[in-house]
Every structure is written in structure tokens, then in C-alpha cells.
Amino acid sequence: MVVYLDHAATTPMHPAAIAAYAAALGTVGNPSSIHSAGQGAKRVLEEARERVAASLGCEPIEVVFTSGGTESVNLGVKGLWWARQADRTRPRLLVPAGEHHATVDAVEWLERHDGAVVTWLPLDEHGRLRVDALAAALDEHDDVALVSLLWANNEVGTLQPVDEVVALAAAHGVPVHCDAVAAYGQVPIDFRSTGLAALSVSAHKIGGPIGIGALALARTATVEPLIHGGGQQRQVRSGTQDGPAAVAFAVAAEQQHHAYEPLRDRLVAGVQAAVPSAVLRGDPVDRLPGNAHFTFPGCEGDSLLFLLDAAGVAVSTGSACQAGIPEASHVLLAMGLSDEEARGALRMTVGHTSTEADVDALLAALPDAVARATRAGYAAHAPATFAR
């Protein structure tokens, strides 16, 4: 039986969400149809929207269902940026260097194809945005269209200063998009009180189905859509909506009452005892409650991953691996680690199915995996570059 400690990648569906999904699949009708079957399907969909909205602290009208976190981020970033380009006087985006690739690739696409100017903001040694650098950038540039940042770093787990960022941006009349995919279900989120223009989440990170997410979009925010068609969902995201998936999403959102910290702390303490050379990355206190991210000196993270997988333990490196060539995490590089240090990364994340026995199995397998990975050393490759 596999010990699953990669809940940050995806977490198993809650049994209640599976049951609700199966039951809702029997609903007949298109929610946009005006006959009674269509209106019945719409009622199922809108009740689910209300429940998801409650979990995000926003109004139901502000919940735009999407295909997942990546689409939500693209809609939030591109849509908000495009909406401010009427006279092309605000082409600039301010983005921290350690963002998820959904944001990184979206803004780089805008830069290559649509004239955007991207200013990458530095992180501190814990992976937290340096607020002083954001303040300086806002003071220096009067052409900023948008700030986008993570609620919590998806690799090292560090919580970001969202309230400070929104306050600084608001003083300059700049909207803020937040990628909360990693944070949703882990820490409290109240969209209404943040002052954010938009916030992205995904169902499969909280025990819902893969293939549905949401963008919480403030009533006052204007976005240009990515998808055109029937004008569903405030003319923001066209397409027939997936009512059954929305129902399962809603049920999963109502299951988020887990205390992950004790198990996470047991894991962290156990790793530090079993492998004293391991270095905990990210903020040691202000981090996601299910996240434990380490670097192991002298080891290739991918080697550790495969060795642990062979021992029946599923974890993640938290870094990109393109064409089979190990690459250092751009997050860790932005935190100031060397290429060699960053390549020894391993991310272990607990979730709603995790047990003490899971942690014990990891700790039992880890010392041998580290010893074997250390003997293997680093794979030969040219260091990756990630311009900032």
C-alpha cells in the first residue's frame, strides 16, 4: 500500500464529495435552459455556487467556476491586465520571483505577445515577498496595471503578506490578484475582507474533483474573458457549466476542518532527527500547516523521490523536471540558494487521509534513501537559468 505524502499536488477526493458527485450526475438539463429540467439543473448549480462562496468569504455572484487553478490564474492575471489596456498607459505587472508557473508563464506570455512589462520582485530567504521592494516598485512606476502574488508559496509553504500587499497597491490604485490554490483549505480565507480584485482556487487540492476550480472576482472588478461564447457567468467565462462537479466541489469545501500542524510537526522533527543535515526551507512558523519542505545536501531531489517511491512512499521534489533532466527550483533560486543546494529539494505534504503511520513509514525509509542518493551524487547537467 502506498504511503501518500504529496497532498499539495492533489489530495484524494472526500468520500462525501464522491457520493455527492455520483448523485448529481443523474441531474438532467442544461443550467442555461429555461424549461423546468434546465431550471432544476440551474438550481443544483447555484446552490453549489453559494456553498463555495461561503467557503471563500465572498458573494455567490463573485464565484466564477473554471476548469481548475491554472485557468483561474490565467483568467485573473490576463483578464485583469487586459481590462486596463484601453490606452496602453499601464503595461506593467509586478510579480514576485517565486510564483507558480501558472502565473510565471501567463505573464511571460503577455510580455512576449502583448507588450506587457514585467517587474520581478525579490523574495527573502524564507520565500516571502520583500514588501519593501514592492513599495519601491509602486513608488517608482506609475504604469502598473496589476500586482499578482501567491497566498502561500506552493513549494516551501511560506505564507505571503497579502494584507500588506493589497494596502500598498490600493494606495496607488492598483488591483491585486492572488493565487490561493495552495492555501485554500489549509488556512482561513475571507475574500470580502482582503480587498483583492480576484482570487484563484482549485477543487482537487481540497478533496474535490479534478477539472473544476474557481475565480473569486470582486463585483467591482472588470476582466476581459479568455473564453467567448454564450456569456455564462457574468460574461466572464462562457461555456456550459458542470453542475455535478460544482456540487462535489461545494461538499469538499465544507469538509475543511482539519488540524494538520501536529502531524506536520511530527514529520519535521522526525526528518531532522533521522537526517541531521537536512535543512527545513520556508518560514519555520508562518507556513502552510500541511507543508514540510527540506533540502538534503549532496543529494539529487529526483533520486530521493524515486528511492522513496520504490519504498512505497509518495512525495514530491517541488521542482520542475523537463525532458528527464533535473532542474533546480526557481523558487529556491529566488530565495538565494545555489543551484546545487536547490537541487536537493524534497516536499512532503500531509492531508486529510494522512496518519502517524504514514509519517513513521517515511521516516523509516528516509535514511537509507538519503544514503543511497548521496552516494549517487548529482546528475550531470548544465545549470538552468531563470532570468529575473
The set of catalytic residues is: 321
- Cell numbers that stand for 156 in this block: 516551501
- Rounded Cα gap, residues 187 and 183, in angstroms: 6
For 3, 99, 124, 333, 344, the CA distances from 327, given in Å and listed in that order, are 26, 16, 21, 11, 10
246 touches 27 (CB < 8 A): no
> Contact, 310 vs 299, CB < 8 A?
no
Listed residue (174, 158, 193) closest to 331, CA to CA: 158
Beta-bridge partners for 150: 179
Pairwise CA distance, residues 346 & 280, whole Å: 10
The answer to whether the CB of 160 falls within 8 A of the CB of 187 is no
Q: Are 180 and 200 in contact (CB under 8 A)?
A: yes
Q: What is the length of the chain?
A: 388
Sign of CA dihedral 268, 269, 273, 278: positive
